[in-house]
Chain A
């Protein structure tokens, strides 16, 4: 157990739907990062939050959004889902000023 908890582990949904992925960071970590892992793209950075505020944005689609709550857990919202959104979504956390990320086990999203 890495200390980073992601739920659900698996999600199957239809095109056009909306889903929410949840992440609880490791205790003491203030930064949360979301990454997408698909067949041809490797680990693609989506977005980072630090202590409740957006810190950095990567190749995140406008249909996707995220937030980090006061208790530091984070949610990634994916809407108007398309087949191409099927992927593994990983959350990672790091300590303040830390660059060594701890990853969760991921959520496998399948859009049918």
Chain B
């Protein structure tokens, strides 16, 4: 796949378990954060976002948590499925520059 080969941290999770992917962001002035999923052979796809005035936001099977004190973002995926296998990127927006992406984490789901 197109994203294979990236030298990324990998998280291996059993199918059906919950996954937690972490991200440390750099700019304390960032006020908007997004998680993207990149499947093999595809471009990054939007999953969920959160504004800095929130601590938590839930979507379908996904939850994003924001801890501004330690500049930490996490993505929780409930009941992980094989289709969740991908590289996950967090991105931050400070309003003045284009999105800055983190290095990414590869999620591998074990059937």
Contact = CB atoms under 8 A, between A and B. Distances in A.
A55 B89 CA distance: 24
B43 A105 contact: yes
A101 B99 contact: yes
Interface of A: 2, 4, 33, 35, 37, 39-40, 42-43, 45, 48, 56, 58, 88, 90, 92, 99-106, 108
Contacts of B103: 42
Interface in B31-45: 32, 34, 36, 41-45
Interface stretch (B2-10, B14-22, B53-61, B66-74): B2-10
Contacts of B36: 103
Contacts of B7: 39-40
B36 to A, nearest CB: 8
B26 to A, nearest CB: 13
A106 B1 CA distance: 12
Query: Which secondary structure dominates where chain A touches chain B?
Result: strand
A73 B7 CA distance: 32
A76 B48 CA distance: 29
A33 B49 CA distance: 19
A106 B99 contact: no
Contact of B5 (A35, A39, A42, A58): A39
A55 B45 CA distance: 23
Contacts of A108: 2
Interface string B66-108: 0000000000000000000000010001000111111110000
B46 A43 contact: no
Given A99-B34, A103-B45, A106-B43, 5 more contacts: A35-B101, A37-B6, A42-B104, A45-B100, A99-B99
A2 B100 CA distance: 21
A100 B49 contact: yes
Nearest to A100: B46
